[in-house]
Structure 1
């Protein structure tokens, strides 16, 4: 019953009674050439549209958007109501165009204000709308013919949009009751006819139009269920641009449309051909074109904003300079027909002609920083313009990332070797038909059961497990996943547990991962506690299989409950580790203190030498101190003998050779014969 939705059939019922000829009181200026007007020419007075004209223009804009986005499977039936109803088109595909509707409306003409209001009523059109919904469309007939045995699966749903000037809320309720009674009567007729279909669901959208400057007598009301067959909602709107905005919102709600605004479109000015300005164009299309934004949460990054006088949001995309060639193929995930919101504006017309000439335009998400992301493309196919959704994420057509790179580059320590062993142990092999399993299980069921046992506890990352990184636990891990255990298997598992107890007694190190932890990681007791918890978790997942599996779990629990003397030994071991840590800290502190003392002593010697130098420099004529000693270097080495006994800082070298040759040495250090 869900083959056709409510959006398949839409019936417009427009009031053509005399009161619809009343002015909307929204003035339209006709005299736009005020600057070039000659003197003495009387300016043209502004005009205002009637309620009928506003209703026709807005309803035709609704139909234009609908036909642009859904040219085939969404149908409109247009009815005018006065003293009788006038059906302007049918459900046939040939009648579904704005040209046909405009030609029919021109033949109807404007309302006659002199006609008797008592003879006119919107009820004539509403009754005809319900009768029209019971008629079978071509698409419904095709589906019913293809499903002869289950023709009742083809549902018949529809929507009635009534544009009128209601008198009060009581008048609105009377119209709803009339439609409800008509649906019940028509369903009875359709039950006995092959040419009619009963209505399973009908939505009534009543739009009350009133002139600007007046107070409305009809209150807005959200969608309300009148009966299981009928729901109703009421909108009270001023005529003019307010009515146009309301129907623009309704067409988006009724047909799952969304808005995209193309910004920074360069266009040449009409008055100045050498200059260009940037314009914006708003497009309507199916909501799925923004599906990737909703999935990734980047809708705010795409420049979402709310239009003036509207409750619908528009996504802003930036114009990219188009390429001259259209040879490149882009990886598209969807293509959706578009319809300009303001089809008669110059920017919309220029953009449409530009695309229909075979050009393509890439659209990017406006970003404050980072590289630009091209998410959509505008291009035409067969005279129709489509908004293409480009894949801005990693393409599924590319080579998959290597497992060594990790998932998104974040995880790299997968148990790749263990996973290869896991695949070898769970390979599927052909089974001979003659072979028979004593348990009576089908081979594929046995394979599924084995795979389920092997994956009950299987960490994928090396840093998330301890026991699977220990060679000592391998015998137990391989045996515990078996469906049944022998006595020898139980002894092997118990022996493995006792080996782990012996390792803990010897305080052997464990392969504990220190990723994300500061320092040397957990202490030895904490490492073994983590290991025992993980081992118990592994065995518990299989303990319910047989009694022998339970015996392995009991052995682990018994070994974990240590006797008092073992606990005392553990306490002594912990105290010893604490003392070693403190000694290590104290040793490092003593080394720091010693180095600080050495540096202070060296600093004192350097400062003392600087003070002596300052005394000599400041008092060059002062006598030397009586107790002055030879200055020592910072290494405190013995001063040279020649420097100590020198005269005026000069010392005669090789004096013994000169004495042997009979040469004298004077006090000034110069020799003479």
Structure 2
């Protein structure tokens, strides 16, 4: 039941009876040129406004402030009461403006002093006000439609402000009783109707207006609860400037507003263009703009002054000389619409025109000692002026804090430039409702959807990304985040992928960060593998949007899958790099160890070659064909002579040809059957005579 407050609906009931045509007795001088008047010219006589005129002007000022600070959500219904009631507008949003109300009031005209007072009564307007509160507004209907089965949760509260000339306190109590009875009757009618809502709470603010110089017949009374449905308060005010001040205070109380006075505004004199003077302008805004003052208890330091017998207080802020343009960004914690208290004064008009031209004004707290503290800024957005609350913990005129002091620790490689570009591409601007397409999304929803797409994959640190550091990937990264892609966009993305494939074929270096790693960083193949993985991750986050996004992902996957021979070539290249690294590492050892290792490796290679020759190459049963292409092994490319260091390409090729040619003929039978390079004589002598022949040729039995 807290969805709508009392301030959602406000009904003004203004008395239009003949006694409201009485003069307020506040003199208004029409002839202000007293010093320059020629002799013999009779000055114009002063005039005074009627009670009706004072009531209309002050109520319109109340509505103007309300519409300036709350252009939506806060609604006003204006009713004029004489012999009957006249409703000047409804709860519809298009009828909520001072222009609409002033046009309707001009049609009503001033009260007729010759009309029969017995036929006129303020009760007609009060009954119509209660009936108006039972009507459903557009916002209430929207909430009831959204809640459906729990529509009773939508509260219906409102406020009635009655401007009249009451006869006595008894007359006031009679008006309160009448409103109480009307509320009960209307709630009964609303219980069985879908177009009406029962009233849960109604605040009655009765303002008794009387001319200056007379004694009031009605006493003031603070807010009092008449019943669970009705509360009432009474204000007895003299017509004229006192009534304007009272309604100015009430609008602040009813809508939680606060006052700020801008002092020391330099402004050129109208009559003397070469001179300037300092002026003050009072602004009204939401109370939350001073929330930091209330929390810290520094309200007295901000220059708070109290006027009108303690009923009105304002916070004084000083015009700051270093003005700024709206393109400069400041750390704002809130922005609130403002409304000048005296909108027709020359200082207020000059200030608002200055701000509407695109300029911004910084405001500082007036302090007797210490450095200046800039706490607020005035700037306009979309034709409306806002009071921005700046973070005053650190002055913006001081040196900015180091980014390494932030919540991420001592990280110094944030993508600050890219983040500035990201903010520029996702900047919000006011959009009028007339330009909105009802069949599409709301502008706010479209903005949220775009922000979600742009942040699906967005690394914050330079060392954590590769593709966002490459100029070649920029076209694809800018296009893939779009909601829809054209055929030209798909071709541009595919062209970007092909350029990356060409870079990999040429073995071009990549901007891989080596922060936190030892040595030269990952190998070239590993760099491209990291780059392709990150690019695929970026495109996968958007692949489900449309078929064209999926085509870009398919292109990346197809380019990543290399043929087997390409993979074998890459593998051999990696092995060669590893051998060269091991060779460089072994070169640091002393010469004796190196020569011993070379001799051992040479011995192993010779034994391995002899075994292969005995088993495979020299087998008479399966001779190797002469036209068979010889296999290339590690031993062919790297012969024993290369053990002490790298060899030239010519030597490697010569060794390979020599080895291949040696395999094309059958080995000599005597060399093949030798043992330790020595051929054994009389091999069959032992078999024939049973004699064992030794090396020296002597026989033994």
| TM bucket, shorter chain | 0.5 to 0.7
Q: 1:529 to 1:172 in 2, by over 3 A?
A: farther
Q: Deviation per CA, 1:80-105: give whole Å up to 9, x if none.
A: 00000000000000100000000000
* Equivalent residues of 1:245, 1:309 under 8 A apart: no
* Equivalent residues of 1:322, 1:360 under 8 A apart: no
Gaps of 5+ in 1: none
What is the match of residue 640 of structure 1?
668
Q: Deviation per CA, 1:399-424: give whole Å up to 9, x if none.
A: 99999999999999999999999999
Give the drift of 1:236. 0.3
Structure 1 CA distance for aligned equivalents of residues 496 and 630 of structure 2: 78
What is the match of residue 568 of structure 2?
568
* Equivalent residues of 2:324, 2:362 under 8 A apart: no
Give the drift of 1:635. 101
Q: Deviation per CA, 1:44-99: give whole Å up to 9, x if none.
A: 10000000000000000000000000001000000000000000000000100000
Give the drift of 1:34. 2.0
What is the match of residue 557 of structure 1?
557
* Equivalent residues of 1:81, 1:121 under 8 A apart: yes
Q: Deviation per CA, 1:431-466: give whole Å up to 9, x if none.
A: 999999999999999999999999999999999999
Structure 1 CA distance for aligned equivalents of residues 398 and 169 of structure 2: 61
Structure 2 CA distance for aligned equivalents of residues 26 and 256 of structure 1: 31
Q: Deviation per CA, 1:174-206: give whole Å up to 9, x if none.
A: 000000000000000000000000000000000
The equivalences for 1:296-311 within 5 A come to 296-308=296-308, 311=311
Q: After the TM superposition, which of the residue ranges 160-169 and 298-307 deviates more from structure 2?
A: 298-307
Structure 1 CA distance for aligned equivalents of residues 64 and 620 of structure 2: 108
Structure 1 CA distance for aligned equivalents of residues 688 and 75 of structure 2: 137
1:75 partnered with 2:103: no
Structure 1 CA distance for aligned equivalents of residues 19 and 515 of structure 2: 80
Q: After the TM superposition, which of the residue ranges 3-12 and 642-651 deviates more from structure 2?
A: 642-651
Q: 1:651 to 1:237 in 2, by over 3 A?
A: farther
Give the drift of 1:170. 0.2
Q: Deviation per CA, 1:495-518: give whole Å up to 9, x if none.
A: 999999999999999999999999
* Equivalent residues of 2:374, 2:395 under 8 A apart: no
Structure 2 CA distance for aligned equivalents of residues 595 and 447 of structure 1: 73
**Large movers: runs of 4+ above 4 Å:** 394-673
* Equivalent residues of 1:322, 1:359 under 8 A apart: no
Q: 1:668 to 1:305 in 2, by over 3 A?
A: farther
What is the match of residue 521 of structure 1?
521
Q: 1:670 to 1:411 in 2, by over 3 A?
A: same
* Equivalent residues of 2:381, 2:430 under 8 A apart: no
Q: Secondary structure, in 3 states, of the residue corresponding to 1:614?
A: helix
Q: Deviation per CA, 1:90-148: give whole Å up to 9, x if none.
A: 00001000000000000000000000000000000000000000000000001111110
Structure 2 CA distance for aligned equivalents of residues 277 and 427 of structure 1: 38
Instruction: State the aligned residue count.
Output: 673
Q: 1:605 to 1:260 in 2, by over 3 A?
A: farther
Q: 1:35 to 1:534 in 2, by over 3 A?
A: closer
* Equivalent residues of 2:373, 2:395 under 8 A apart: no
Q: 1:457 to 1:39 in 2, by over 3 A?
A: closer
Q: 1:4 to 1:575 in 2, by over 3 A?
A: closer
Q: Deviation per CA, 1:595-629: give whole Å up to 9, x if none.
A: 99999999999999999999999999999999999
Structure 2 CA distance for aligned equivalents of residues 438 and 138 of structure 1: 17
* Equivalent residues of 1:647, 1:667 under 8 A apart: no
Q: 1:608 to 1:67 in 2, by over 3 A?
A: same
Q: 1:272 to 1:658 in 2, by over 3 A?
A: farther
Q: After the TM superposition, which of the residue ranges 515-524 and 346-355 deviates more from structure 2?
A: 515-524
Structure 2 CA distance for aligned equivalents of residues 555 and 325 of structure 1: 46
Normalised by the length of structure 1, the TM-score is 0.60
* Equivalent residues of 2:436, 2:442 under 8 A apart: no
Q: 1:604 to 1:322 in 2, by over 3 A?
A: farther
Structure 1 CA distance for aligned equivalents of residues 318 and 680 of structure 2: 93
Q: 1:350 to 1:638 in 2, by over 3 A?
A: farther
Give the drift of 1:42. 1.3
What is the match of residue 320 of structure 2?
320
Q: After the TM superposition, which of the residue ranges 527-536 and 158-167 deviates more from structure 2?
A: 527-536
Structure 2 CA distance for aligned equivalents of residues 530 and 407 of structure 1: 28
Q: Deviation per CA, 1:10-29: give whole Å up to 9, x if none.
A: 00000000000000000000
* Equivalent residues of 1:647, 1:668 under 8 A apart: no
Give the drift of 1:327. 2.7
Structure 1 CA distance for aligned equivalents of residues 291 and 200 of structure 2: 31
Q: Secondary structure, in 3 states, of the residue corresponding to 1:198?
A: coil
Q: Deviation per CA, 1:324-364: give whole Å up to 9, x if none.
A: 64332000000000000000000000000000000000000
The equivalences for 1:389-404 within 5 A come to 389-393=389-393
Structure 2 CA distance for aligned equivalents of residues 351 and 444 of structure 1: 31
* Equivalent residues of 1:405, 1:412 under 8 A apart: no
Q: 1:649 to 1:517 in 2, by over 3 A?
A: closer
Normalised by the length of structure 2, the TM-score is 0.57
* Equivalent residues of 2:324, 2:361 under 8 A apart: no
Give the drift of 1:39. 2.2
Q: 1:400 to 1:407 in 2, by over 3 A?
A: farther
* Equivalent residues of 1:543, 1:550 under 8 A apart: yes
Q: Secondary structure, in 3 states, of the residue corresponding to 2:590?
A: helix
Structure 1 CA distance for aligned equivalents of residues 41 and 438 of structure 2: 110
Q: 1:216 to 1:473 in 2, by over 3 A?
A: same
RMSD: 26.3
